[in-house]
Structures are given as C-alpha cells and as structure tokens.
Amino acid sequence: MDKLLITGGNRLSGEISVSGAKNAALPILCASLLTADTIALRNVPHLNDIGTTLRLLGQMGVSSEHHADNAMELCAAHVEKLEAPYELVKTMRASILVLGPLLARFGEARVSLPGGCAIGQRPVDQHIKGLEAMGADIRIEHGYVVAKATRLQGASIRTDMVTVTGTENLMMAATLAKGRTTLENAAREPEIVDLAELLNKMGARIKGHGTDQIIIDGVDSLHGAEHSVVPDRIEAGTFLCAVGAAGGEIMLRNAAPLTMGATLDKLIEAGMTIEHGDDWIRGMMNKRPRATGFRTSEYPGFPTDMQAQLMALNTIADGTAIIVENIFENRYMHVQELSRMGAQIDIDGHTAVVLGVGQLSGTTVMATDLRASASLVIAGLAACGDTIIERIYHLDRGYERMEEKLRSVGANIQRLKREAA
Ligand code: EPU
C-alpha cells in the first residue's frame, strides 16, 4: 500500500486548480442510467470513487468514454444487468445511487445493502421509505435491496432527517414517475443543485432545488445533455486549511466560493485573510491560528466533510476549540492519530475539546477514512519533522492528485510507492 511522506514546516505559496466535486460527480454519473441518450460531462475528477462508479455502471452495460481535460461521455442505451453487487457497494456506499434511476427507468433493481462504515452506521432506510411511498415493492433479500415497480407514482415524501444521497436518489427516481413528487426536508447541498441542473437539462421538471422542498413533475422520458460538474468545495476548503496551518498564501482557481460560506467564515475567524471573486479564492495566513469552535450541520451549515481538516488547524491554534459533530456518530477516528502527533484533544460523545499546542511533531500515522486522511496531511504540513501517513488509498478515493497539487505550492510531500514503502 502506498504511503505519504511529509516533511513539515514549509510555507505554502502559489496557485492550485480545484477539481470537480466528487459528491456531485457520483450522482451525476448514476443519472446517466435515466436515459438511452449520451450524457457529456466536463470537470469529472480522476478519483478512485469515480473509477468504482464507472466499473459499477460498466457492469450494467453503460458505456463510458474518457476525453482530454476531465471530459467524458456516458451512454446507457444497452443496460442488461440491473444490479449493484456487494463487492462494489462495500467499497463505495454511494453505489446506492443507482437504485432510484434503475427503478425509475427499468422498473427493477437489485442493490446490495452497504453495511456499516468507518464514520458511522449510515443506514439507507430513508431511500427505501421514499421509494415505497412512490409505489415500489421493496424487499430485503440476502443482504440486497430488491425493488420492483411497474411505474413509480409521484408522492409527497418527508424524510426523517436531512439526507444528501437520499434526496438525490428520490429526486432522480421522481423525474420519471407519474405525476408530482414533493420532497420535504430535502437536503440543500450545492451537489444536489448541480444534479438537479443536469436532470433539468435532460428534460426533467424539477424546481425548488437548493431549498428544503423540492418539487418534481414526472416526465415519460429523459434525453441526452451536457454538463460541467460544480467545483469541489471540500477539496478547496482542505487546501485553505493547509495554508491556515502551514502558513503562506495560495490562490485557488476554478473554485466555487459562494458554496463555501460556512467554511470561509470559520477560516476568517481563525485569523486567515480570505479574498474571493466568483470562481477564485485567495487565502493568506501569516500568524498562529486562533482557536475556532464549530458545529457540523447540513448545508448551509458547517460541513461534516470539513470537520477533520478544521480540527487539524485547531490542534496548533492559540486557545481551546469546542467542536460538535452532529451528522455522523463515529467521525472522530482522526483524533487518536492527531494525538500521536502531540495534539491535545478530549472526546465526549459528539463533542471534541481541542486545546491548541505550540507545535505538532511528525510520526507515523494511519489514515482511516477520506477526510481523516486529509486532516493528517494538514497536520503533517504544519508539524516539525517527518510524518508518514499509511493507508492513503482513502485519500485517493476523493482527492485528485493531492500530493502533486500540494507540492506545486511548495509542500515537501511525496508518495512512497508500495515497492519503495
Ligand atoms: N441517514 C439515515 N438513513 C438514511 C440516510 C441517512 O439514518 O436513509 C443518516 C446517516 O446515517 C447520517 C445522516 O442521516 O447520520 C446524514 O447522512 P446522509 O445521507 O446525508 O449522508 P450520505 O448521503 O450517505 C453524503 C456524502 C458524504 C457526506 C454526507 C453529509 C456523498 C456521496 N456522500 O453522504 O460525503 O459526509 O452526505 O454531508 O455525497 C465524504 O465525501 O467524505 C463523505 C462522507
């Protein structure tokens, strides 16, 4: 397994181009199942999770063609297998996103239940409840969700909690249902807006995306479309936290600052200077960060996907930060690893109390999930000495060429390939 070797202490300086958002691209790839026509996409990041999704779609019969500059085309004209097998779903929970489109277009789907994961239980009961409300017959058989429907019917659905992929699955399913579907308590994340925009280009009739009530008037069929994936707000936020911790000045190009309000506010509170235009962000830090507490919540609140990275920044801040993780019950796996680098963090249930220390010291740590890995990279950049991060396959799932991008702004970071590691 590859490892990362980071020698901390370098200030960061230069420009980074932000990639397309993983969490927008994943549902968008699955939306290709809704039509027999070609979907042409731009700004699709090269990530392992994207590769897994393309493998999953490929097994079903969806053809995909890559072009230069992160562009690609998908065509689901010849779908033969309406199944997402355990082997793929267990490596990537977002595979559940094929359930709604398959059921809506083909009236049938067999999708493995994902099981638990490193950050919490993450059930998919709300996806199932919503599809049942739309008339689907759903059984759990041998660990699989087995769903059937002659044609889905529009329904009024209120999810028990705000769920991102749940909203996406139900929104996709509703595009081809008969009649009107109303999703109450819908997620408002920018990735949902991006998906809805693609679906509308395909002929869907969706309104209210970006609010907590999405209304979808079903149509008989959808057609091909072109779309560029929204910039990754979490990748951009991760690089800004890196500058906040290591010091320096970076310019992020192809960014979407208007989707990053809560993150940018917290970084300013931590002492960073942030400037931005419509599609760029400049982040500067020339002093020790100030402790900055926060609570994660659904968009537009502070994203759980930035919790670990802002915690890393807080480990070396002046003061004590109280952090509350409200979305996932087990998303503090990075705490023990940060502690091995000298961080002082106490956990009590969903609350973490981070007492900033003058400096972290490099050591060998282990990545446990995607955003935990990112927090260890940030800690490593700010620490004195060498940090070796093991199991970085987690990082490769969701960050495109992270070490290359960081090296281009002066970080001393290298990948130790399995042979050399
Ligand atoms: N939940 C249920 N039942 C459901 C669905 C969700 O109990 O049927 C619970 C979850 O267990 C969790 C909460 O509701 O406690 C919210 O989960 P949500 O469904 O919103 O999460 P998700 O859709 O599985 C997406 C992102 C995650 C991100 C969360 C929250 C994708 C592919 N994944 O997951 O991204 O953390 O929303 O914003 O969009 C990441 O990129 O590192 C990542 C984990």
pLDDT digits (tens, 9 = 90+) for 288-306: 999 999 999 999 999 999 9
For ligand 1, whether the C-beta of 126 sits within 6 Å is: yes
- Mutate which of 29, 89, 164 for ligand 1? The one with the most ligand atoms within 8 Å of its CB, which is 164
Report which protein residue has its CA nearest ligand 1's atom 16: 163
For the residues 257-283, what does the mean pLDDT come to?
98
Q: Which tens digit of pLDDT belongs to each residue from 126-185?
A: 999 999 999 999 999 999 999 999 999 999 999 999 999 999 999 999 999 999 999 999
CA atoms within 13 A on the CB side of 365: 32
Measured CA to CA in angstroms, residue 262 lies from 164, 294, 299, 331 at distances of 18, 10, 9, 19
Q: Which tens digit of pLDDT belongs to each residue from 213-245?
A: 999 999 999 999 999 999 999 999 999 999 999
Looking at the DSSP assignment, which residues form a beta bridge with residue 17? 253
Specify burial of residue 126 (Cβ count, 10 A radius: 0-12, 13-18, 19+): buried
Q: Over 70: is that where the pLDDT of 419 sits?
A: no
| Interval between CA 247 and ligand 1 midpoint (Å) | 32
For ligand 1, whether the C-beta of 331 sits within 6 Å is: no
Percent of the chain with pLDDT over 90: 95
Query: What confidence category does residue 114 fall into, taking pLDDT thresholds of 50, 70 and 90?
Result: confident
> What burial letters (b/e) apply to 333-352, b meaning 16+ CB within 10 Å?
bbbebbbbbbbebeeeebeb
Query: What confidence category does residue 116 fall into, taking pLDDT thresholds of 50, 70 and 90?
Result: low
Pair of tokens at residue 178: 């008969």
At residue 1, the pLDDT reads 83
Q: Over 80: is that where the pLDDT of 118 sits?
A: no
Active site members: 117
Taking each helix axis from N to C end, the angle separating 370-382 and 233-246, rounded to the nearest 10 degrees, works out to 20
In 10 A of CB 300, how many CB atoms? 14
Please report the atom of ligand 1 found closest to the CA of residue 125: 8
At residue 177, the pLDDT reads 98
Q: Which tens digit of pLDDT belongs to each residue from 22-73?
A: 999 999 999 999 999 999 999 999 999 999 999 999 999 999 999 999 999 9
CA–CA gap between residue 82 and residue 60 (Å, rounded): 6
Looking at the DSSP assignment, which residues form a beta bridge with residue 63? 75
Label the pairing between strands 144-148 and 156-158: unpaired
Query: What confidence category does residue 186 fall into, taking pLDDT thresholds of 50, 70 and 90?
Result: very high
Q: Over 50: is that where the pLDDT of 421 sits?
A: no
C-beta separation of 172 from 100 below 8 A = yes
For the residues 314-330, what does the mean pLDDT come to?
96
CA–CA gap between residue 390 and residue 387 (Å, rounded): 10
For ligand 1, whether the C-beta of 26 sits within 6 Å is: yes
Q: Which tens digit of pLDDT belongs to each residue from 87-109?
A: 999 989 999 999 999 999 999 99
Torsion sign across C-alpha atoms 79, 80, 82, 85: negative
- Mutate which of 48, 325, 327 for ligand 1? The one with the most ligand atoms within 8 Å of its CB, which is 327
For ligand 1, whether the C-beta of 328 sits within 6 Å is: yes
**What would the DSSP string read from start to end of 383-404?**
SBSEEEEE-THHHHHH-TTHHH
Average confidence score pLDDT of the chain: 96
- Mutate which of 159, 161, 238 for ligand 1? The one with the most ligand atoms within 8 Å of its CB, which is 161
Please report the atom of ligand 1 found closest to the CA of residue 369: 42
| Interval between CA 94 and ligand 1 midpoint (Å) | 9
C-beta separation of 152 from 173 below 8 A = yes
